[in-house]
Chains A and B, each alone.
Chain A
C-alpha cells in the first residue's frame, strides 16, 4: 500500500486547559496531592501524641497558624470536589446497577452517593463536636464496648 504522508499535531503540555471537562479531571487528580499532605499532617499529630503532651500541644498550635488554616481550607475544597466528581463517575466505572430488572438511573446513583456521603460526614462531625441530641449520643456511646474507648 502507498505510504500516506500525514501531519501529527503536537499535544502541548497545557492540553488540559482547553476544555472544562479536562480541567475538572486534572483538579480531581491534583486533589491526591492535598490528601497526601493532609495525611502526613495527621500522622505527624499522631506521632507527637506518642511523644509528650508538650509535643502534641505544639502540633495543635501549628494547626492554628494562618498558613495551616489556609492549607486545610484548600484541602477541604479539594475533598469536596473529589467527593462529588467521584460519585459522578461512579455509575460509569461500576457495573450497571439494576433494581427489579430496571437500570438504576445515573442521576439517582450520584444523588444517593453524594447525599449519603454528606449525611455520614455531618453525623461524624456532630458526634466528635458533641452536637448529637442526648438520646442519639447515648445510643452511639452504647455501641462502644465497655473499656474499649476513653
Chain B
C-alpha cells in the first residue's frame, strides 16, 4: 500500500560565499508515513536541490549529527517524523545559538574546544599496564555515571539553553554533563584537573536553571542535574572540603 502525501518544508539557507544573511527556501516534498524529517531533506537534496547542506550520519539517533531546529524546537531530524508534522509546513533551521556555517550546518568548533577543556577521558591515579587486565566496576559504580555517559554530543541542549545564547563562552550543558560523567567514574581521580572549568564564572555558575536542556535531550541525560549537582561540588571545592575528601 502506498500512502504518499505532500508536505512543505521551509529550510533556512545561507551560503557564506554569496549571502550576507540567511533566507528561507520552500520545497514541496512527497513523503510516506515512515519518512523522517532527515529523509525529507535527503529527498530535497536528491531530487529538488542538490545544494542544500545539512549533516547526518547514522540515521538512528545514535551519532548526534542531524540535530536542528524543527518548527522552532531542537530535535534530531532522524527521529522526528513528517507524518507527525502533517499538514505542515515544517520549518527547519540550524541549531539555535551557534554560528551558521552553511544552510543547516553549524560551526561546532567552539563546542569541541570546550569538550577538550573538560578532559573527557579517565584520569587515573597511576598508569596501569594492559597486562593487568581491565579495571572492574560494580553495577552500583557503573550506575553512578551511566546516565551521563549516554551523551551523544548532538548539541540540542546548547540550542535549548538561552544562557549559552547570551554568552557563547558558557561551557554549557553537554560538556559539563561529560565533566560530571568522568568525575563520577570510580576509576577517575580527575576532579582537581577539571575543577578550574567547573568553578569558572562561565562554568557551572553560569547556569540559571532554565531546565529546557534536560527536556530536549534525546538520550535522557538530564544535563541540568549534572550542572547543578556540580554547583554543590564547586562550593565544597571553594571551601576546601572537596580536596580534604581526596579531591574526587
Contact = CB atoms under 8 A, between A and B. Distances in A.
Interface of A: 4-9, 11, 15-16, 18-19, 21-22, 25, 29, 89, 91-96, 101
Contacts, number: 69
A92 B225 contact: yes
Contact of B21 (A7, A21, A25, A29): A7
B93 to A, nearest CB: 9
Given A9-B96, A96-B229, 12 more contacts: A6-B16, A6-B99, A7-B21, A7-B100, A8-B99, A11-B97, A11-B165, A19-B72, A93-B224, A94-B228, A94-B229, A101-B140
B211 A25 contact: yes
B72 A21 contact: no
A17 B140 CA distance: 42
Nearest to A8: B99
Given A7-B21, A7-B99, A92-B214, A15 B225 contact: no
Contacts of B72: 18-19
A7 to B, nearest CB: 4
A6 B211 CA distance: 28
B73 A19 contact: yes
A7 B16 contact: yes
A92 to B, nearest CB: 5
A101 B139 CA distance: 12
A16 B162 contact: yes
Nearest to B12: A9
Interface in B76-132: 96-97, 99-101, 107, 109
A20 B209 CA distance: 15
Given A89-B211, A92-B224, A92-B228, A6 B22 contact: no
Interface string B140-171: 10000000000000000000001001100000
A22 B162 contact: yes
Interface in B1-42: 14, 16-17, 19, 21-22
A61 to B, nearest CB: 40
